[in-house]
Amino acid sequence: MKIILVNRGHERSRIIELGRWSRAVVSLCCLGLPLVMITVGYLIGQDNASRAVVDSTLGALNDDLEQQSSELAKLRDEARRKMRALSLNLAGLQARMTRLDALGEHLTVMADLDDGEFDFSQPPAVGGPLAGEFSVDFSAGELSAELDQFESRMEDREHQLDILQSLLANRKLNEQAWLSGRPVTKGWVSSHYGNRTDPFSGQMAMHSGIDFAGKEGSNVLAVASGVVTWTGTKDGYGDLVEVSHSDGYVTRYAHNQENLVQAGDLVHKGQTIALMGSSGRSTGAHVHFEVFKNGRSVDPSSYVRRTRR
């Protein structure tokens, strides 16, 4: 194989004759170089494609992680909101329980129950055998259901206590309206109801009340709740207080040193309405106590002696 080399001016030329091995080397270079370049280009292209696939996969994974992180943050916020709501609900239930405890103590006092029979200041007494391993593990849904149940039980208890309070209040009102007891805190009966010798005339005369003698200026008490219908000075009675009660009853408290109430006042059982004196037709400090039923004078003794229905 011959190779002719010509310069640019075509002035000179050179012939090179290649042997067998030289021809093989030249052929190999002419044919192998393109193959090598193609192979290298293919490998570089494959590497770039692999990198592109890896980058695309990593980008997708990063997007998924960001989305999951965002969803997790939302779930966390929602859980916090639910826990705050449950905490507020629990605080409300505790406030209602405090109110129920106060109401229970109030009813206990009103009902005059024995000490310790109902003690709302202490937790209820409970007990029983321990069955196996004891543990409490509530999910959010179970906790919410437990709170709903607890609230339902509290509503039922609250309703029952309201009914009990209403019944006791009615009983208290009945006791207040129940005409009974003495119109004085201290004193003794100096004259009974009925015919007696008049201390001024010495003749037999009807005494329409009971006299309770005592210390001048001591308290005169209402024997039942009612409305003051008259107060002032009356012939023979001196300073007088008249109180109207339910069921057609009227009571009078006479010979007072001073009247402490006015007409139209609402008085309660046991309230001080006057001070004991000796005004009017009287021989000494006492209160003249009269009871009228449906406009007719009755013996106050039976009302003085009775206590409760």
Helix, coil or strand: residue 215? coil
> Which pLDDT value is given to residue 178?
86
The tokens 């509503």 sit on which residue?
Answer: 155
Q: What's the rounded Cα separation, in Å, for the pair 57 and 54?
A: 5
Are 119 and 109 spatial neighbours (Cβ–Cβ below 8 Å)?
no
Q: Does residue 220 or residue 28 have the better pLDDT?
A: 220
Between 22 and 234, where is the model more confident?
A: 234
Quick one: 225 exposed, middle or buried, by C-beta within 10 A (0-12, 13-18, 19+)?
A: buried
Q: Cα–Cα distance between 25 and 32 in angstroms, integer?
A: 10
- Taking only the tens place, the pLDDT of each residue in 126-165 is 455 544 444 445 556 666 676 777 777 677 667 666 766 6
Q: What is the mean pLDDT of residues 224-239?
A: 93
Strand-strand pairing, 210-213 and 188-191: antiparallel
Q: Which two tokens stand for residue 188?
A: 């003794």
DSSP E strand stretches across 158-262 = 188-191, 194-197, 204-207, 210-213, 219-221, 226-234, 238-244, 249-259
Predicted confidence at residue 134, as pLDDT, reads 43
Q: For 269-296, how does the pLDDT look when each residue is reduced to its tens digit (9 = 90+)?
A: 999 999 999 999 888 999 999 999 999 9
Classify each residue of 270-293 as buried b or exposed e, where b means 16 or more C-beta atoms within 10 Å of its C-beta.
ebebbbbbbbbebeebbbbbbbbe
Q: Residue holding tokens 């005169």?
A: 220
Determine the pLDDT at residue 265: 92
Whole-number Cα distances in Å, 221 to 107, 113, 179, 253, 292? 26, 26, 12, 9, 17
CA distance 6 to 12: 6
Predicted local confidence at residue 255, as pLDDT: 95
- Write down the pTM of the prediction: 0.51
pLDDT of 202 reads 75
Q: What percent of the chain has a predicted confidence (pLDDT) above 70?
A: 61
Q: pLDDT tens for residues 232-263?
A: 999 989 999 999 998 889 999 999 999 999 99
Q: Which whole number is the average pLDDT over 214-242? A: 94
Instruction: Of 262, 175, 253, 242, give the one whose Cα is nearest residue 220.
Output: 253
Mean pLDDT of the region 66-85: 82
> Hey, which of 15-29, 65-79, 196-210, 270-284 has the most confident mean pLDDT?
270-284
- Helical H runs in the chain? 20-111, 140-177, 301-305
